[in-house]
Amino acid sequence: MSDLTRGPILPNLLAFALPIFVATSLQTVYTIVDALWVAQLGARAIGAVSVSYVVIFIMLSVAWGTTAAVTALVAQYFGARRRDMVTRSIGNGILLIGGIALALTGLVLALHGPILRALGTPPELYPDAAVYLVISTVGMPFMYAFTIVGAAMRGVGDSVTPMKLGLISNGFNVLADPVLIFGLGPFPRLEVAGAAWATLLAKALAALWGLWLLQRREVTRVRREDFLPDRGIIRNLLKIALPAGLTSLVQSGANSVVMGLVTPWGTVAVAAHGIGLRVDSLLVMPAVAMGLAAAPMVGQNLGAGLAERAYVAGRVALRVIFVLLTALGGIMALAGPWLVWPFARHDPAVVQTGALYFAIQGFFYGLFGVLLVLNHMLRGAGDATATLVLSFISQWVFRLPLAWVFAFGLGWGVAGVWWGIVGSYLLGGAVGIGYFRSRRWMQKAVVRAPGVAETVSSPPVAPAGR
C-alpha cells in the first residue's frame, strides 16, 4: 500500500509501474507458452481455441471497464482519506461485476452453440471450440474476481501484490497445461479441455488468494454492509465503466475495419500486418504499465484535492512514455527485417513488407504511447467519457478515412493503410494533448478531501520531477 499524494512524482511513478510491467510481461509469456502447448495438438486445436477466444475476449472486455472504475473510485477515496468509502467502493464493485459475471456466464452457457455457429466455426473445429468455450465461461467469475482484486489493490497504491498473484497464477497455469493437456502421471489426457481447465484452476487460485489478502488489510477489508447496494457508488462506477467498455468496442471495431482494408492487398500484406500487431503487443506493455500506474496516482491526488500535483503526475507519465516509446520505436524502424524474420524466415516477401510496416510507424510510436497512457489516466480521474470520445475521434474520424484515402484514393497500397495509422497518431495525439492541457478532466473527480481549497486553475507548484 502506498500513498501516492506524497514524495517525488517520477521515482514513485516508475516504482509503481515496474511491478505492473512485470505482471503484464508474465501474462504475455503465459499466453505464448499456452499457445505452444496447444499447438502440439495440431491445427484443429489451435483453430478451436482461437475461435473460442473471440467470445472470451469480449467477456473480458466487459470486466476491464468495471475494473477501471473500481481503481478510479478507490484511488480517489483513498486520497481523500475516506477509508469507509474505499471498502464500500470495493464491495459495490464486487457486487456489480459479480452480477455481470453471472449474467454473462448464464447467457454464454445457454447460447454457446448459436454463438459459435454465428462466428462461422467450421464443423471440424466445433466440438473442441464448444468444450473450450464452456469450460472457460464457467471460470469467468474467477477471472472477473481476479481483475477486481488487482484494481482495488492498485487503487490503494499496491502494484506489487497483483504482480505476485499474477506470477503464482501464470506459473501454475504453465505447469498445469502439459499435465492436463497430455495426461501426465495420474491425470487423464484432456487435450483442448485440459488447457481450459488449467486456466480456470489458475485464475480460481489467484482470485481466492487475492480476496483473502484484501480481507487481511484494514484499508481494503470489506464488511458485510459494504455489499449493500449504494446507488451513488454504483452510479459513479457505471459512469466510468460504461464508457470504458464502449471504448474497447470502438477500438476493436476499428481494428477489424483496418484489417479489412489490409486484406485486399493480398496474403503477404495480411501476414505482415499480423506480425506487426504481434510485435506491437510487446511494445504496448510499457505504455500499459505506465497508464495503469498513472491512473491511481492521478486519482489519489485529485481525491486529496491536489489538482496541480495530479496534473504534473499526468504530464510526467506522458513525457516518460513518449521518450521511451519514441526511442524503442526508432530502433524497431531500423531493425524491421530482424523483427519480422523469426515469424516469416521462409518468406522473403513477408519479411520485406513487414519491415516496411515498422519503417513507416516506428518513429511515431511515442504518440501511440501517449494516447494509451492518456486513456488510462483520464479513467483514473473519473473522465472515462473523454477516453471514449478521444478513441472514436482518433480511430474512426482520423485513422479509417486516412487509411482508405492513402491506400485506395492515392494508390499507396497497404503502405497507405499504415500511413493512415500514423496520421491518427499525429492528429489524435494533438487532440488528446490539447484536452489534457485544458485541465477540464480534473473537474470529473468523484471526491475531494474536505477543506482543501486548491482548484484546477491553480498555478504550478511543483517541477515535473516532483
User: Residue range 322-351: average pLDDT?
Assistant: 87
The verdict on 142 and 175 lying in the same domain is yes
pLDDT score for 171: 87
pLDDT score for 462: 37
User: Residue range 78-96: average pLDDT?
Assistant: 89
The verdict on 259 and 186 lying in the same domain is no
Q: How many domains, in total, are found in the chain?
A: 2
The verdict on 70 and 209 lying in the same domain is yes
Range ranked top by mean pLDDT from 185-199, 268-282, 437-451: 185-199
Domain limits at 367? 242-461
The verdict on 73 and 183 lying in the same domain is yes
- Does 453 have pLDDT greater than 80? no
Q: Is residue 236 part of a domain?
A: no
pLDDT score for 456: 42
- Does 226 have pLDDT greater than 80? yes
pLDDT score for 452: 42
pLDDT band at 176 (very low <50, low <70, confident <90, very high): very high
pLDDT score for 83: 86
pLDDT score for 32: 65
User: Residue range 191-197: average pLDDT?
Assistant: 90
- Does 402 have pLDDT greater than 90? yes
The verdict on 219 and 248 lying in the same domain is no
Q: List pLDDT tens digits, range 270-281.
A: 888 878 887 887
- Does 126 have pLDDT greater than 70? yes
- Which range has the worst mean pLDDT, 20-24, 102-106, 187-191, 343-347? 343-347
Q: Is residue 376 part of a domain?
A: yes
Convert the chain into a string of H (helix), E (strand) and C (coil): CCCCCCCCHHHHHHHHHHHHHHHHHHHHHHHHHHHHHHHCCCHHHHHHHHHHHHHHHHHHHHHHHHHHHHHHHHHHHHHCCCHHHHHHHHHHHHHHHHHHHHHHHHHHHHHHHHHHHHCCCCCCCHHHHHHHHHHHHHCHHHHHHHHHHHHHHHHCCCCHHHHHHHHHHHHHHHHHHHHHHHCCCCCCCCCHHHHHHHHHHHHHHHHHHHHHHHHHCHHHCCCHHHHCCCHHHHHHHHHHHHHHHHHHHHHHHHHHHHHHHHHHHCHHHHHHHHHHHHHHHHHHHHHHHHHHHHHHHHHHHHHCCCHHHHHHHHHHHHHHHHHHHHHHHHHHHHCHHHHHHHHCCCCHHHHHHHHHHHHHHHHHHHHHHHHHHHHHHHHHCCCHHHHHHHHHHHHHHHHHHHHHHHHHHCCCCHHHHHHHHHHHHHHHHHHHHHHHHHCHHHHHCCCCCCCCCCCCCCCCCCCCCC
Q: List pLDDT tens digits, range 368-393.
A: 999 999 999 998 888 989 999 999 99
The verdict on 308 and 170 lying in the same domain is no
pLDDT band at 451 (very low <50, low <70, confident <90, very high): very low
Q: Is residue 197 part of a domain?
A: yes
